[in-house]
Amino acid sequence: MASRRTVPLASFEGGDPDGVPLMLLHGFPLDHTSWAPQLAADFGARVIAPDLRGFGASPFTEAASIEGMAEDVLALADRLGVGRFVLGGLSMGGYVALAVARRAPERLLGLVLADTRAEADAEETRRKRDEHVALVQAQGSQALADLVVPGFFTEAYRAAEPREVRAVRTTIAGQSPQGVVNALRAMRDRPDATQGLGSIACPSLVLVGEQDPLTPPQLAERLAEGIPGARLVVIPGAAHLSNLEQPEAFNEALGVFLRGLSRAPPEGGAEARPAWRQGG
Protein backbone atom coordinates (compact mmCIF):
# COMPACT_ATOMS: atom_id res chain seq x y z
CA MET A 1 0.00 0.00 0.00
CA ALA A 2 1.55 3.32 -1.05
CA SER A 3 1.95 5.88 1.73
CA ARG A 4 0.78 9.49 1.71
CA ARG A 5 3.49 10.45 4.20
CA THR A 6 6.22 12.53 2.65
CA VAL A 7 9.92 11.92 3.00
CA PRO A 8 12.29 14.84 3.67
CA LEU A 9 14.26 14.83 0.45
CA ALA A 10 17.96 15.67 0.38
CA SER A 11 18.59 18.45 -2.12
CA PHE A 12 21.62 20.08 -3.66
CA GLU A 13 21.89 23.58 -5.08
CA GLY A 14 23.85 25.52 -7.66
CA GLY A 15 23.53 28.76 -9.59
CA ASP A 16 22.23 32.05 -8.22
CA PRO A 17 20.50 31.73 -4.80
CA ASP A 18 18.37 34.79 -5.64
CA GLY A 19 17.37 33.60 -9.09
CA VAL A 20 14.17 31.92 -10.17
CA PRO A 21 14.05 28.45 -8.58
CA LEU A 22 14.60 25.65 -11.06
CA MET A 23 13.97 22.23 -9.54
CA LEU A 24 15.37 19.32 -11.53
CA LEU A 25 14.21 15.73 -10.93
CA HIS A 26 16.53 12.92 -11.92
CA GLY A 27 15.85 9.78 -13.91
CA PHE A 28 15.93 6.14 -12.81
CA PRO A 29 18.03 4.74 -11.12
CA LEU A 30 20.10 7.87 -10.61
CA ASP A 31 20.25 10.83 -8.24
CA HIS A 32 21.05 14.55 -8.20
CA THR A 33 24.59 13.91 -9.48
CA SER A 34 23.11 13.30 -12.93
CA TRP A 35 22.33 17.05 -13.04
CA ALA A 36 25.98 18.08 -12.49
CA PRO A 37 26.24 20.12 -15.74
CA GLN A 38 23.02 21.99 -14.92
CA LEU A 39 23.97 22.60 -11.24
CA ALA A 40 27.20 24.18 -12.52
CA ALA A 41 25.56 26.27 -15.27
CA ASP A 42 24.97 29.99 -15.19
CA PHE A 43 21.26 30.28 -15.96
CA GLY A 44 20.72 33.10 -13.46
CA ALA A 45 18.51 30.53 -11.72
CA ARG A 46 18.62 28.88 -8.30
CA VAL A 47 19.11 25.30 -9.42
CA ILE A 48 17.77 22.75 -6.93
CA ALA A 49 18.36 19.06 -7.55
CA PRO A 50 16.79 16.71 -5.02
CA ASP A 51 17.36 13.01 -4.61
CA LEU A 52 13.96 11.37 -5.01
CA ARG A 53 12.65 9.00 -2.32
CA GLY A 54 15.06 6.14 -1.70
CA PHE A 55 17.74 7.46 -4.07
CA GLY A 56 21.08 9.07 -3.24
CA ALA A 57 20.94 10.71 0.18
CA SER A 58 17.14 10.64 0.50
CA PRO A 59 15.77 8.01 2.84
CA PHE A 60 13.40 5.25 1.89
CA THR A 61 10.76 4.95 4.57
CA GLU A 62 7.85 3.24 2.87
CA ALA A 63 6.43 2.60 -0.55
CA ALA A 64 5.15 5.54 -2.57
CA SER A 65 3.57 5.89 -5.97
CA ILE A 66 4.69 8.49 -8.51
CA GLU A 67 2.00 10.73 -6.96
CA GLY A 68 3.58 10.16 -3.54
CA MET A 69 6.98 11.09 -4.96
CA ALA A 70 5.37 14.28 -6.30
CA GLU A 71 4.14 15.03 -2.78
CA ASP A 72 7.74 14.66 -1.55
CA VAL A 73 8.81 17.28 -4.11
CA LEU A 74 6.09 19.73 -3.06
CA ALA A 75 7.01 19.20 0.61
CA LEU A 76 10.64 19.98 -0.26
CA ALA A 77 9.61 23.21 -2.00
CA ASP A 78 7.62 24.17 1.11
CA ARG A 79 10.58 23.36 3.35
CA LEU A 80 12.87 25.53 1.18
CA GLY A 81 10.36 28.41 1.21
CA VAL A 82 9.90 28.16 -2.53
CA GLY A 83 6.36 29.10 -3.48
CA ARG A 84 6.48 28.87 -7.26
CA PHE A 85 9.18 27.34 -9.34
CA VAL A 86 10.21 26.01 -12.70
CA LEU A 87 10.10 22.22 -12.58
CA GLY A 88 12.13 19.95 -14.80
CA GLY A 89 12.29 16.19 -14.90
CA LEU A 90 14.16 13.67 -16.98
CA SER A 91 12.44 10.37 -17.75
CA MET A 92 11.22 9.07 -14.33
CA GLY A 93 11.75 12.63 -13.10
CA GLY A 94 9.39 13.69 -15.89
CA TYR A 95 6.72 11.26 -14.65
CA VAL A 96 7.01 12.87 -11.22
CA ALA A 97 7.01 16.37 -12.74
CA LEU A 98 3.78 15.58 -14.62
CA ALA A 99 2.26 14.38 -11.34
CA VAL A 100 3.25 17.69 -9.68
CA ALA A 101 1.65 19.52 -12.61
CA ARG A 102 -1.58 17.57 -11.98
CA ARG A 103 -1.56 18.08 -8.22
CA ALA A 104 -0.34 21.64 -7.88
CA PRO A 105 -0.40 23.48 -11.22
CA GLU A 106 -0.50 26.83 -9.37
CA ARG A 107 3.05 26.19 -8.10
CA LEU A 108 4.61 25.96 -11.55
CA LEU A 109 6.18 28.88 -13.36
CA GLY A 110 7.33 26.56 -16.10
CA LEU A 111 7.67 22.88 -16.93
CA VAL A 112 10.64 21.16 -18.58
CA LEU A 113 10.18 17.55 -19.67
CA ALA A 114 13.31 15.80 -20.89
CA ASP A 115 13.54 12.34 -22.44
CA THR A 116 10.25 11.29 -20.94
CA ARG A 117 6.73 10.29 -21.93
CA ALA A 118 3.14 10.83 -20.84
CA GLU A 119 1.95 7.30 -21.67
CA ALA A 120 1.61 4.61 -19.01
CA ASP A 121 3.70 1.44 -19.27
CA ALA A 122 2.69 -1.08 -21.91
CA GLU A 123 1.94 -4.63 -20.70
CA GLU A 124 5.34 -5.90 -21.83
CA THR A 125 7.13 -3.09 -19.97
CA ARG A 126 5.12 -3.85 -16.83
CA ARG A 127 6.30 -7.46 -17.01
CA LYS A 128 9.90 -6.23 -17.42
CA ARG A 129 9.51 -4.04 -14.32
CA ASP A 130 8.59 -7.16 -12.32
CA GLU A 131 11.62 -9.00 -13.70
CA HIS A 132 13.82 -6.07 -12.72
CA VAL A 133 12.32 -6.03 -9.21
CA ALA A 134 13.24 -9.72 -8.85
CA LEU A 135 16.73 -9.06 -10.23
CA VAL A 136 17.43 -6.19 -7.81
CA GLN A 137 16.04 -8.16 -4.87
CA ALA A 138 18.33 -11.08 -5.73
CA GLN A 139 21.49 -9.28 -6.84
CA GLY A 140 21.32 -5.65 -5.73
CA SER A 141 21.08 -2.41 -7.68
CA GLN A 142 24.33 -2.85 -9.60
CA ALA A 143 22.66 -5.64 -11.56
CA LEU A 144 20.64 -2.97 -13.38
CA ALA A 145 23.66 -1.12 -14.76
CA ASP A 146 24.28 -3.50 -17.68
CA LEU A 147 20.61 -3.33 -18.60
CA VAL A 148 20.11 0.43 -18.58
CA VAL A 149 23.46 2.10 -19.36
CA PRO A 150 23.54 1.09 -23.07
CA GLY A 151 20.36 3.14 -23.60
CA PHE A 152 21.60 6.11 -21.61
CA PHE A 153 24.41 7.15 -23.96
CA THR A 154 25.24 6.76 -27.62
CA GLU A 155 27.87 4.19 -28.54
CA ALA A 156 30.20 7.01 -29.58
CA TYR A 157 29.93 8.66 -26.17
CA ARG A 158 30.45 5.37 -24.33
CA ALA A 159 33.65 4.84 -26.31
CA ALA A 160 34.89 8.43 -25.88
CA GLU A 161 33.94 9.06 -22.23
CA PRO A 162 34.50 5.84 -20.27
CA ARG A 163 35.04 7.75 -17.01
CA GLU A 164 31.67 9.51 -17.25
CA VAL A 165 29.97 6.24 -18.04
CA ARG A 166 31.74 4.50 -15.12
CA ALA A 167 30.57 7.30 -12.81
CA VAL A 168 26.96 6.66 -13.81
CA ARG A 169 27.41 2.91 -13.24
CA THR A 170 28.85 3.68 -9.78
CA THR A 171 25.83 5.86 -9.00
CA ILE A 172 23.49 3.02 -9.99
CA ALA A 173 25.41 0.46 -7.95
CA GLY A 174 25.18 2.72 -4.89
CA GLN A 175 21.39 3.03 -4.90
CA SER A 176 19.43 1.36 -2.16
CA PRO A 177 17.64 -1.74 -3.49
CA GLN A 178 14.50 -0.70 -1.59
CA GLY A 179 14.40 2.69 -3.30
CA VAL A 180 15.01 1.11 -6.70
CA VAL A 181 12.31 -1.54 -6.19
CA ASN A 182 9.84 1.10 -5.02
CA ALA A 183 10.53 3.23 -8.11
CA LEU A 184 10.15 0.24 -10.44
CA ARG A 185 6.73 -0.52 -8.96
CA ALA A 186 5.74 3.15 -8.96
CA MET A 187 6.65 3.50 -12.65
CA ARG A 188 4.87 0.21 -13.47
CA ASP A 189 1.66 1.43 -11.85
CA ARG A 190 1.71 5.07 -12.91
CA PRO A 191 -1.38 6.33 -14.67
CA ASP A 192 -1.48 7.49 -18.25
CA ALA A 193 -0.88 11.24 -18.21
CA THR A 194 -1.84 12.05 -21.79
CA GLN A 195 -5.39 13.17 -20.99
CA GLY A 196 -4.15 15.87 -18.62
CA LEU A 197 -1.57 17.39 -20.97
CA GLY A 198 -4.09 19.79 -22.51
CA SER A 199 -4.69 21.40 -19.12
CA ILE A 200 -1.06 22.33 -18.52
CA ALA A 201 -1.17 26.10 -18.59
CA CYS A 202 2.42 27.10 -17.73
CA PRO A 203 5.10 27.62 -20.38
CA SER A 204 6.57 24.23 -21.23
CA LEU A 205 9.68 22.90 -22.90
CA VAL A 206 10.14 19.34 -24.14
CA LEU A 207 13.69 18.13 -24.74
CA VAL A 208 14.83 14.84 -26.22
CA GLY A 209 18.07 13.25 -27.35
CA GLU A 210 17.96 12.68 -31.10
CA GLN A 211 19.05 9.06 -30.55
CA ASP A 212 17.13 8.34 -27.35
CA PRO A 213 16.15 4.67 -27.67
CA LEU A 214 14.04 4.64 -24.48
CA THR A 215 11.84 7.67 -25.07
CA PRO A 216 12.44 8.41 -28.75
CA PRO A 217 11.79 11.75 -30.47
CA GLN A 218 8.39 10.59 -31.83
CA LEU A 219 7.17 10.27 -28.24
CA ALA A 220 8.58 13.69 -27.38
CA GLU A 221 6.77 15.14 -30.40
CA ARG A 222 3.49 13.66 -29.16
CA LEU A 223 4.18 15.01 -25.69
CA ALA A 224 4.91 18.51 -26.99
CA GLU A 225 1.86 18.42 -29.26
CA GLY A 226 -0.33 17.59 -26.27
CA ILE A 227 0.76 20.56 -24.14
CA PRO A 228 -0.61 23.91 -25.27
CA GLY A 229 2.20 26.11 -26.60
CA ALA A 230 4.99 23.69 -25.66
CA ARG A 231 8.27 24.01 -27.49
CA LEU A 232 10.19 20.90 -28.59
CA VAL A 233 13.97 20.86 -28.86
CA VAL A 234 15.80 17.79 -30.19
CA ILE A 235 19.36 17.47 -28.88
CA PRO A 236 21.68 16.14 -31.61
CA GLY A 237 24.23 13.45 -30.74
CA ALA A 238 22.52 12.40 -27.52
CA ALA A 239 20.72 9.28 -26.31
CA HIS A 240 18.56 9.10 -23.16
CA LEU A 241 20.62 11.18 -20.72
CA SER A 242 20.72 14.12 -23.11
CA ASN A 243 21.59 16.58 -20.31
CA LEU A 244 24.78 14.65 -19.52
CA GLU A 245 25.79 13.62 -23.02
CA GLN A 246 25.31 17.03 -24.65
CA PRO A 247 25.26 19.48 -21.74
CA GLU A 248 26.02 22.53 -23.90
CA ALA A 249 23.08 22.01 -26.25
CA PHE A 250 20.79 21.01 -23.38
CA ASN A 251 21.78 24.04 -21.29
CA GLU A 252 21.44 26.34 -24.26
CA ALA A 253 17.82 25.22 -24.79
CA LEU A 254 17.08 25.43 -21.08
CA GLY A 255 18.69 28.87 -20.82
CA VAL A 256 16.63 30.23 -23.72
CA PHE A 257 13.48 28.89 -22.05
CA LEU A 258 14.35 30.43 -18.68
CA ARG A 259 15.21 33.80 -20.23
CA GLY A 260 11.83 33.73 -22.00
CA LEU A 261 10.11 33.23 -18.64
CA SER A 262 11.94 36.11 -17.02
CA ARG A 263 10.82 38.43 -19.82
CA ALA A 264 7.18 37.68 -19.02
CA PRO A 265 5.60 40.60 -17.10
CA PRO A 266 5.50 40.01 -13.31
CA GLU A 267 2.08 39.15 -11.94
CA GLY A 268 0.74 42.10 -9.93
CA GLY A 269 2.83 44.68 -11.81
CA ALA A 270 6.46 45.78 -11.63
CA GLU A 271 6.38 46.31 -7.84
CA ALA A 272 5.24 42.76 -7.12
CA ARG A 273 7.45 40.42 -5.09
CA PRO A 274 9.20 37.76 -7.15
CA ALA A 275 6.58 35.18 -8.09
CA TRP A 276 8.57 32.35 -6.54
CA ARG A 277 8.62 33.58 -2.94
CA GLN A 278 6.40 31.52 -0.65
CA GLY A 279 3.02 33.21 -0.50
CA GLY A 280 4.08 35.61 -3.27
Q: For the chain, what is the radius of gyration of the CA atoms? A: 18
Pick from 14, 15, 21, 27: which binds ligand MLT (CB under 6 A)? 27
Decide whether 168 or 232 has the Cβ nearer to ligand MLT.
168
Q: Indicate whether 226 belongs to the interface with ligand MLT (CB under 6 A).
A: no
Would you say 19 or 210 has its CB closer to ligand MLT?
210
Which lies closer to ligand MLT via its Cβ, residue 107 or residue 129?
A: 129
Under rule CB under 6 A, residue 63 binds ligand MLT: no
Quick one: which of 12, 28, 60, 85 contacts ligand MLT (CB under 6 A)? 28
Q: How far is the CB of 187 from ligand MLT (least distance, A)?
A: 5
Q: Of the candidates 76, 113, 187, 235, which one interacts with ligand MLT according to CB under 6 A? A: 187
Q: Restricting to residues 231-250, which ones interact with ligand MLT according to CB under 6 A?
A: 240
Interface positions with ligand MLT (CB under 6 A) = 27-28, 91-92, 187, 214, 240
